[in-house]
Each structure stands twice: as structure tokens, then as C-alpha cells.
């Protein structure tokens, strides 16, 4: 706990057998009251390792995609009483040692969401991020900052902390089950007036770390552009989207175990 707030760490997992143990070992269990892993039909021994580590494990009956996995993560964390939820990938790309700092920033009351940014400082390129991904990240972020009207160092990190209030407010079920879910969620957070903070986070790129291929990256990029354009059109009153509406579908209670 931090300041009496129950902290839950969630890990959306797919084929993370080789890196899960290292990731879990760096989670400060003096801070994290609960650790949940949601497996998206991995083809390796991710579930076995997670259970050996004593994590709370949910296994999807079929692959739901990265966004669908996160929806289950957050719904389960809320059901188990989380006040602050930190998502860290189990592929050891991001440092779990920053969980107390990120959760603390949310617990301070200054922020409803905190992002572990790879591009603040020298984290991304120094950690091995491919140059083409780095420049795509910078261009997409510039485009989004201009259209959305909010200044972030990057919108594309997978290391995030959220308050319970944010997760209960956003219509997350209106978002994609694919990778663009991450981006749509941040656009929603800004739309509903939540404050987002950032912290420098070193990142590692190595063979076992998950990374989408070029084709999926291009698809994600177009999804990001579409999200920013939809946001701006909704702000101008040219588009009404359930993604940016208070009556949009909220997270449903998870039924899988």
C-alpha cells in the first residue's frame, strides 16, 4: 500500500515464459498488494510459471488481443479492490522497480494516470529501440499533441499507472481489442479531464522482449492517426463517438479465471 491505497500490478501476458520470472522478482511486494497476470492463450509455459510464482492468474479461453487482455486486467483489478493499478509488461522491457514511484505519483492526488516514458532522457535508443520505431514514435506523438491539445513526451509506452476513479469512468469497452487500445485510452483520459504525469523509464530491447512487427506497427500508426482525428472532430462537434461519451460502455465484470 501507499498512503492507505491498495496497489495492484497487472500483467497482460502472451508467450512470456522466458522473462516473467525476472519481471516478477523485481516487483516490490511491500508496495504491490496484488499481482494479476492475464494470459491470452500463450503457446509456451507462461501460465505454469505464473502459478509457480504465486500470481493471481486468469487465462482467456481464446486470444482476445492486447487491448482485450488489458480490459480483463483492469476489470479484475477493480473487482479485487484496487485503488491504484499499475500495468507492466511481463517481457522485462520496462523496469518493475519504478512501480512504487509511479503508484506514488497517483497516490499523491496530483495525477490520475502516470506513464513510464522511454523518450524522456536517453532511455529508448540507449536501450536498443530500433531507430525507425523511435522516429515513428516522435512523429506520431507530435501529431497527437497538436490535434489533441495535450503535451506528452510519448503516447505509446506500455508502462502505465491509473487511479480507480479513472478506470471506472472511462468507457473502455468502446475501445479496440488490438494494440491501438493504449492510444484510445489516453485520448479518453484527456477527453474526460484526467491529469496525466510522466516519469523517465529505461527500456530494454532484446530477443525475448515483445515487439510488434513492421506490418502491425503500420496498422497501429494508422489507428493512432484515426484516434487523434476522431478526438479533434468530436471536440469541434463534427462527430459523436461513444468512445468520448459518458454513457459509453464501461468495463464489464470479468467472468474468466
Q: What is the C-alpha to C-alpha distance for residues 162 and 131, in angstroms, rounded to an integer?
A: 29
Mean of the per-residue pLDDT values for the chain? 92
On whether the CB atoms of residues 233 and 239 are closer than 8 A, the answer is yes
Mean pLDDT over 29-47 rounds to 97
- Residues 170-183: pLDDT tens digits? 999 999 999 999 99
> 109 Cβ partners below 8 Å, 6+ apart?
none
Give me Rg for the CA atoms of the chain.
Answer: 17
Q: What is the C-alpha to C-alpha distance for residues 67 and 177, in angstroms, rounded to an integer?
A: 4
What is the pLDDT, as a whole number, of residue 257? 47
Task: Return the C-alpha cell found at 176.
Answer: 479496440
Mean pLDDT over 221-235 rounds to 95
What is the pLDDT, as a whole number, of residue 122? 67
CA angle 212, 199, 233 (to 5 degrees): 65
Place of cell 504491490: 32
What is the pLDDT, as a whole number, of residue 215? 81
What is the pLDDT, as a whole number, of residue 210? 57
- Residues 68-82: pLDDT tens digits? 999 999 999 999 999
Q: What is the C-alpha to C-alpha distance for residues 139 and 144, in angstroms, rounded to an integer?
A: 9
Residues in the chain: 257
Domain boundaries, the chain: 7-130+153-210
Confidence of residue 228 (pLDDT cuts 50, 70, 90): very high
7-130+153-210: CATH number: 3.90.550.10
Q: What is the C-alpha to C-alpha distance for residues 89 and 13, in angstroms, rounded to an integer?
A: 7
Q: What is the C-alpha to C-alpha distance for residues 124 and 168, in angstroms, rounded to an integer?
A: 32
- Residues 196-226: pLDDT tens digits? 999 999 888 766 555 667 788 889 999 999 9
Mean pLDDT over 109-121 rounds to 92
Amino acid at each position: 500500500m501507499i498512503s492507505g491505497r491498495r496497489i495492484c500490478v497487472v500483467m497482460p501476458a502472451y508467450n512470456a515464459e522466458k522473462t516473467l520470472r525476472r519481471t516478477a522478482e523485481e516487483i516490490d511486494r511491500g508496495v504491490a498488494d496484488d499481482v494479476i497476470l492475464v494470459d491470452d492463450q500463450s503457446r509456451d509455459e507462461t501460465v505454469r510459471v505464473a502459478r509457480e510464482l504465486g500470481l493471481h492468474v486468469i487465462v482467456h479461453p481464446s486470444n482476445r488481443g492486447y487491448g482485450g487482455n488489458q480490459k480483463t486486467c483492469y476489470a479484475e483489478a477493480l473487482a479485487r479492490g484496487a485503488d491504484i493499478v499499475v500495468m507492466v509488461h511481463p517481457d522485462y522491457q520496462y523496469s518493475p522497480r519504478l512501480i512504487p514511484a509511479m503508484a506514488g505519483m497517483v497516490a499523491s492526488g496530483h495525477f490520475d494516470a502516470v506513464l513510464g516514458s522511454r523518450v524522456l532522457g536517453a532511455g529508448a535508443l540507449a536501450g536498443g529501440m530500433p531507430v525507425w520505431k523511435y522516429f515513428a514514435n516522435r512523429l506520431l506523438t507530435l501529431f497527437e499533441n497538436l490535434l489533441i491539445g495535450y503535451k506528452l513526451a510519448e503516447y505509446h509506452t506500455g508502462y502505465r499507472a491509473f487511479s480507480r476513479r479513472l478506470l471506472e469512468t472511462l468507457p473502455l469497452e468502446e475501445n479496440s481489442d488490438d494494440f491501438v487500445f493504449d492510444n484510445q485510452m489516453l485520448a479518453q483520459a484527456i477527453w474526460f479531464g484526467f491529469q496525466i504525469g510522466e516519469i523517465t523509464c529505461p527500456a530494454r530491447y532484446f530477443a525475448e522482449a515483445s515487439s510488434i512487427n513492421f506490418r502491425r506497427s503500420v496498422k497501429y500508426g494508422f489507428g493512432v492517426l484515426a484516434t487523434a482525428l476522431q478526438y479533434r472532430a468530436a471536440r469541434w462537434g463534427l462527430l459523436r463517438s461513444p468512445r468520448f461519451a459518458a454513457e459509453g460502455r464501461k468495463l464489464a465484470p470479468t467472468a474468466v479465471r
